[in-house]
């Protein structure tokens, strides 16, 4: 069992948990992820390690309540525990001194996994320019944290309610146009955003890394459910990634495979809500279609 | 009265009914059947059956006790050699092991050794577990076992009996390896059999740590240098799925058998949405391969509601590597065997879902290096079948996580750990390996045999080192 030491609402539907997991905290590196299971009937859910504290023995996860499993997770409170937590999984981000100027891009809650990477890059002595994108000001997270580990921070909002109006690629293009010499771009967020970043840097030949989020089951390389097409090769994101060269990724194939269980996911959400109505599990302000 | 040349039949669920549920197909002998079957055993002076058993169970010995109705005595004899008899009695391919060598097999059917082993094991489980905890010496040494599949469980049981404090590290959230995620419930019940047999190991004093991925959470060197383990046994199996590398393998609806079976067996996707893990099975399912894994995936598909399930296998009936009984069961349940067929492409629709599979007919040529006749494509024989789910069950390789983080331990060109066949000793001192990670995908009982041999070798190694 893994205890929730801290629960914080970052923005509506977006939660932060600090979990007691000393052994994982000891080994975790930027870019890696964990898989958790809330209870005995639960599925295995992959989440990026948003932060880790080796002294306190904690890891931080940030998640959006998008489906039945994340809602179940979100309903837990401080002091309660989740059943299974395994990690750190996946390869760590390539970080070394004197890489030059690195642009770290986080879209939506993708800012969370970008944070430890930006911090690692900064600690290694690199110049870090961060771009954070959100639909609007209310759902922007981790601004102070990102400022603390970056040389420059640009915020973009789709509706212009804060920072630059536009997408993360708007700010990225401005940097390119200004002639900033970018050694590498690291982008994490929704697949459409990562694809846009890849297309923005491709003409300039700027090395670009994205962290992919395909469907996973075990997370240790034994099933291939997370396979993605990278150039001419099929790779398992859980062990070969999750980070890959953005210019080689088949984003269309990734999005296609992410839709595999759309029907079942709707059914599952419906199932959970009916349970809640019947008082079988904790009642919540649920917004799913069954109400 | 002359001895019957046929085995006593074992009651089974009706094929039509069982193809719609996940309950066990084979129901096991009654006491009466077991005693009658035991009486077929001639109690040979030089029992050939034993040489067919990878852990050398005293077969005539335990059968003699069944004849006397001394069932407690019988299971004691089995357990001297085999710590997981309820599992082995169910999943061993007896026709190519113990029963192959039975003297009766020359004239008719062999003694049903597997069914009898299962009978005494089940009877003992039903009467409650009386496993006693081991009284460890104050200076007992610690041994780590990586992987809780058949090889690891067997090694752990043997080492514990020899007085070592054993911790098994398992990457998944449930112990058992292929016994938990691979072999389906209808062949090997999880709660009643697998969990109970593993619990009795725990009761004996073996610790099992789940959610512990070797190579990520810790390395082999750390176990030995920092955590005080005197020896390590690696039994991480063959868990890396092979795909065919043909066009269309990334379409939605194409699964590795590992993923398909893990969703179903470990995550209980057949109970979705009560259990949260989903699975997608269409009306027409093609399972590619002819081994036990393929049979399991095909029969699972039926139980998940598929209307038509094909086994697509590139060789013929005689070459099917699956256990005979399972092939028989699959046929009874209505699986359509497309033998001497090979897939060449998977075709999908605009939304990325599987729609068809293109196959080519094959014929058998000369025997290849493995001794099996080599399948050769028949030119111009391509055709398409309508399918909406494809399960690839063409084999598995070794997962590289542990090998790649263990300097000084050699692997071969396929990525398997190089280990002495008799002792399991690797090229790194104090580190042993066994089961599928050494041999490539094989059987449960061979893995258990390897675990047992390695336990003896680890005991020798640690005793010698101490002196």
Domain-embedded: residue B132 = no
Residues of A in contact with B253 (CB under 8 A): 260
Interface list for B 352-391 with A (CB within 8 A):
352
Of A167-171, B61-65, B124-128, B395-399, give the lowest mean pLDDT range.
B124-128
Amino acid B368: pLDDT: 81
Domain ranges of chain A: 2-89, 93-211
Pair B300, B25: CB distance under 8 Å: no
Task: Say if the ipTM goes beyond 0.95.
Answer: no
The residue-averaged pLDDT of A135-150 equals: 92
Classify residue B7: in a domain, yes or no.
Answer: no
Residue A275 has pLDDT above 60, yes or no: no
Interchain proximity B351–A87, CB inside 8 Å: no
Shared domain for B268 and B388, answered yes or no, is: yes
Last residue of a domain, one of B396, B423, B439: B396
Domain co-membership, B209 together with B290: no
- How confident is residue A271, by pLDDT bands cut at 50, 70 and 90? low
Q: Could you report the per-residue pLDDT of B242-251, keeping only the tens digit for each?
A: 999 999 999 9
* B277–A43 CB contact, under 8 Å: yes
Q: Does B2 touch chain A (CB under 8 A)?
A: no
Chain A residues touching residue B351 (CB < 8 angstroms): 256, 259
A181, A245 contact by CB (below 8 A) = no
Q: What's the CATH number for A2-89?
A: 2.40.30.10
- Residues of chain A in contact with residue B212, where contact means CB-CB under 8 angstroms, are 86
* pLDDT, mean of residues A133-151: 93
A288 is in an annotated binding site: no
pLDDT at B1: 60
Domain match, B330 and B416 both = no
Topology given in CATH for the domain delimited by A93-211 = Rossmann fold (3.40.50)
Secondary structure element (H or E) that encloses residue A256, with its range: helix A251-258
pLDDT in tens, B320-369: 999 888 999 999 999 999 999 999 999 999 999 999 999 999 999 988 88
Average pLDDT, integer, range A92-114: 94
For the segment B149-178, the average pLDDT, to the nearest whole number, is 96
3 state DSSP class of B20:
coil
**Do B324 and B245 lie in a common domain?**
yes
Q: Give mean pLDDT, residues B129-155.
A: 92
pLDDT-derived band at A282 (thresholds 50, 70, 90) equals very low
Residue B131: the pLDDT is 80
* Contact: B280, A257; criterion CB under 8 Å: no
- What pLDDT is attached to residue A266? 81
If asked whether residues B235 and B248 sit together in one domain, one would say no
pLDDT of residue A265: 81
A86 to chain B: nearest residue by CA? B211
- Tell me: do B384 and B262 sit in the same domain: yes
Q: Does one domain contain both B385 and B297? A: yes
d(CA B158, nearest CA chain A) in Å: 27
For residue A146, which phi and psi values (nearest 5 degrees)?
Answer: -65, -40
**Closest partner residue to B241 among A44, A72, A224, by Cβ?**
A224
**pLDDT tens readout for residues B87-118:** 999 988 888 899 999 999 988 999 999 999 99
Task: Write down the pLDDT at residue B83.
Answer: 82
Yes or no: say if B143 and B233 are a contact pair by the CB < 8 Å rule.
yes
Q: Is the pLDDT of residue A289 over 60?
A: no
Give residue B370's pLDDT: 75
CB contact under 8 A, A41 and B274: yes
Select the more confidently predicted residue: A283 or B161: B161
| A33 marked ligand binding residue | no
Q: What is the mean pLDDT of residues A32-55?
A: 95
Q: Which of B211, B221, B252 to mutate to test the interface with A (most CBs of A within 10 A)?
A: B211
Chain B partners within 8 Å of A259 (Cβ): 252, 351-352
Of residues A41, A89, A267, nearest to B275 (C-beta): A41
Q: Reply yes or no on whether the pLDDT at A276 is more than 70.
A: no
Q: What is the pLDDT of residue A264?
A: 83
Q: Do the chains contact at A44 and B267, CB–CB below 8 Å?
A: yes
When scoring B245, B273, B297, B355 by the number of chain A Cβ atoms within 10 A, the one with the most, hence best to mutate, is B273
B338 and B459 part of one domain: no
Find the CATH number of the domain harbouring B25.
Answer: 1.10.1060.10
DSSP string, A64-107: E--SHHHHHHHT--TT-EESEEEEEESPPP---TT--EEEEEEE
Is the model's pLDDT at A6 over the cut of 70? yes
Sign of the CA dihedral running B100, B101, B102, B105: positive
Percent of chain B with pLDDT over 70: 99
Q: For position B74, what pLDDT does the model report? A: 96
Contact in structure between B71 and B124 (CB atoms under 8 Å): yes
Residue B294 sits in which domain range? 241-396
pLDDT at B31: 95
List CB contacts (< 8 A) between B272 and chain A.
264, 268
Q: What is the percent of chain A where pLDDT is above 90?
A: 84
Question: What phi and psi values does residue B168 have, to the nearest 5 degrees?
Answer: -95, 130
Band (pLDDT 50/70/90 cuts) for residue A281 is very low
B466: pLDDT strictly greater than 80: no
The end-to-end CA distance of chain A, in Å, is: 33
CATH number at residue B317: 3.50.50.60
Asked if A224's CB is within 8 angstroms of B243's CB, the reply is yes
Are residues B392 and B407 both part of a single domain? no
On whether residue B385 sits in a domain, the answer given is yes
pTM for the complete prediction? 0.92
pLDDT one-digit tens code per residue, A164-177: 999 999 999 999 99
**B188-215 pLDDT, tens per residue?**
999 889 998 899 899 999 999 999 999 9
Task: State the helix-helix crossing angle for B324-333 and B292-303, rounded to 10 degrees.
Answer: 30
Higher pLDDT, A282 or B377: B377
Does A64 count as an annotated binding residue?
Answer: yes
Reading the block at residue A183, the tokens are 């050694």
pLDDT of residue A280: 43
The reply to whether B311 falls in a domain is yes
- Chain B residues inside the 8 Å CB shell of A84: 173, 210-211
- Are the CB atoms for B211 and B148 separated by under 8 Å? no
pLDDT of B81 higher than 70: yes
Question: Do B51 and B104 have their domain in common?
Answer: yes
Could you read off the pLDDT of B352-365 as tens digits, one per residue? 999 999 999 999 99
Fold matches, A2-89 and A93-211: no
* B273/A264 CB distance under 8 A: yes
Q: Is A275 annotated as a binding residue?
A: no
Nearest by CB to A223, from B217, B259, B276: name it: B259
pLDDT computed for residue B441 by the predictor: 85
Give A-chain residues touching B171 at CB under 8 angstroms. 86, 218, 220
The predicted pLDDT at position A272 comes to 57
Distance from CA of B245 to the nearest CA of A (A): 9
Question: Between chains, do B256 and A223 touch, taking CB under 8 Å as contact?
Answer: yes
Element (H, E) at A227: strand A227-230
Residues 142-201 on B with a CB inside 8 Å of A are: 171-173
CA-based nearest residue to B193, from B151, B158, B153, B253: B153
Whether B391 and B293 map to the same domain: the answer is yes
Q: Is A8 annotated as ligand-binding?
A: no
Q: Is residue B2 part of a domain?
A: no
Q: Say which DSSP state B418 is in.
A: P
A226 is in an annotated binding site: yes
Mean pLDDT of B276-296: 95
- pLDDT tens-digit profile of A178-234? 999 999 999 999 999 999 999 999 999 999 999 999 999 999 999 999 999 999 999
Chain A residue with minimum CA distance to B393: A223
Q: Residue A286 has what pLDDT?
A: 40
Instruction: Count structural domains, chain B.
Output: 3
Contact state of A89 with B213 under an 8 Å Cβ cutoff: yes
Q: Could you tell me what percent of chain A has a pLDDT over 70?
A: 92
Are residues B250 and A37, on separate chains, in Cβ contact within 8 Å?
no
Q: Average pLDDT for residues A67-90, to the nearest whole number?
A: 94
Asked whether the beta carbons of B299 and B330 are under 8 A apart, the reply is yes
Residue at B45 is within a domain: yes
Asked whether residue B222 falls in the same domain as residue B246, the answer is no
């Amino acid at each position: 069992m893994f205890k929730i030491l801290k629960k914080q609402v970052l923005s509506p539907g977006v939660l932060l948990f600090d979990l007691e997991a000393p052994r994982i905290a000891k080994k975790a590196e930027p870019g890696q992820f964990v898989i958790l299971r809330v209870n005995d009937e639960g599925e295995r859910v992959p989440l990026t390690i948003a932060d880790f504290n080796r002294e306190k023995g904690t890891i931080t996860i940030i998640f959006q309540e998008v489906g039945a499993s994340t809602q179940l997770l979100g309903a837990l409170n401080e002091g309660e525990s989740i059943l299974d937590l395994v990690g750190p999984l996946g390869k760590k981000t390539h970080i070394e001194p004197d890489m030059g100027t690195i642009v770290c891009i986080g879209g939506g809650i993708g800012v969370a996994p970008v944070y430890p990477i930006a911090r690692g890059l900064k600690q290694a002595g690199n110049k870090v320019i961060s771009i954070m994108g959100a639909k609007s000001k209310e759902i922007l997270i981790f601004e102070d944290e990102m400022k603390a580990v970056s040389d420059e921070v640009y915020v973009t909002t789709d509706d212009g309610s804060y920072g630059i109006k536009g997408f993360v690629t708007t700010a990225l293009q401005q940097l390119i146009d200004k002639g900033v010499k970018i050694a590498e771009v690291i982008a994490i967020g929704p697949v459409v955003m990562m694809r846009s970043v890849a297309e923005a840097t491709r003409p300039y030949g700027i090395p670009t890394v994205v962290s992919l989020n395909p469907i996973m089951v075990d997370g240790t390389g034994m099933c291939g459910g997370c396979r993605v097409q990278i150039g001419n090769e099929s790779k398992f994101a859980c062990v070969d990634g999750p980070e890959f060269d953005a210019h080689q990724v088949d984003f269309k194939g990734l999005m296609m495979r992410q839709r595999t269980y759309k029907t079942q996911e709707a059914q599952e959400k419906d199932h959970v809500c009916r349970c809640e109505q019947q008082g079988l599990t904790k009642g919540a302000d649920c917004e799913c279609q069954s109400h | 009265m002359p001895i019957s040349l046929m085995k006593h039949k074992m009651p089974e669920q009706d094929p039509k009914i069982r193809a719609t549920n996940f309950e066990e197909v084979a129901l096991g002998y009654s006491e009466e059947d077991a005693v009658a079957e035991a009486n077929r055993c001639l109690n040979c002076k030089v029992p050939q059956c034993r040489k067919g058993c990878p852990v050398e169970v005293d077969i005539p010995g335990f059968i003699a006790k069944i004849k006397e109705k001394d069932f407690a005595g019988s299971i004691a004899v089995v357990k001297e050699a085999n710590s997981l008899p309820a599992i082995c009695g169910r999943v061993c391919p007896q026709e190519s092991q113990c029963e192959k060598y039975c003297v009766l097999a020359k004239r008719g059917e062999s003694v049903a050794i597997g069914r009898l082993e299962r009978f005494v094991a089940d009877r003992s489980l039903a009467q409650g577990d009386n496993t006693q905890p081991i009284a460890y010496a104050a200076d007992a040494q610690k041994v780590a076992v990586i992987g809780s599949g058949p090889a690891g469980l067997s090694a752990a049981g043997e080492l514990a009996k020899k007085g070592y404090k054993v911790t098994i590290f398992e990457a998944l959230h449930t112990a058992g390896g292929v016994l938990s995620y691979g072999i389906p419930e209808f062949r090997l019940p999880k709660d009643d059999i697998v969990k109970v047999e593993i619990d009795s190991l725990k009761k004996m004093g073996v610790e099992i740590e789940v959610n512990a991925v070797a190579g990520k959470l810790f390395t082999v060197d750390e176990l030995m240098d920092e955590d005080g383990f005197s020896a390590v046994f690696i039994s991480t199996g063959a868990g890396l799925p092979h795909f065919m590398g043909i066009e269309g393998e990334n379409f939605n609806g194409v699964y590795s058998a590992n993923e398909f079976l893990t969703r179903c067996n470990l995550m209980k996707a057949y109970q979705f949405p009560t259990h949260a893990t989903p699975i997608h099975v269409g009306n027409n399912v093609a399972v590619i391969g002819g081994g036990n894994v393929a049979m399991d995936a095909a029969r699972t598909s039926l139980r998940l509601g598929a209307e038509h399930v094909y086994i697509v296998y590139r060789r013929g009936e005689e070459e099917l590597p699956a256990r005979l009984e399972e092939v028989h069961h699959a046929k009874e349940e209505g699986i359509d065997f497309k033998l001497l067929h090979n897939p060449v492409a998977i075709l999908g629709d605009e939304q990325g879902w599987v729609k068809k599979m293109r196959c080519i007919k094959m014929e058998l040529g000369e025997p290849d290096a493995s001794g099996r006749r080599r399948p050769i494509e028949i030119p111009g024989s391509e055709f398409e079948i309508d399918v909406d789910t494809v399960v690839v069950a063409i084999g598995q390789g070794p997962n590289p996580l542990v090998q790649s983080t263990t300097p000084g331990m050699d692997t071969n060109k396929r990525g398997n750990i190089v280990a002495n066949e008799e002792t399991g000793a690797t090229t790194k001192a104090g580190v042993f390996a066994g089961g599928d990670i050494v041999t490539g995908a094989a059987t449960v009982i061979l893995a258990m045999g390897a675990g047992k041999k390695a336990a003896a070798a680890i005991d020798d190694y640690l005793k010698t080192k101490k002196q």
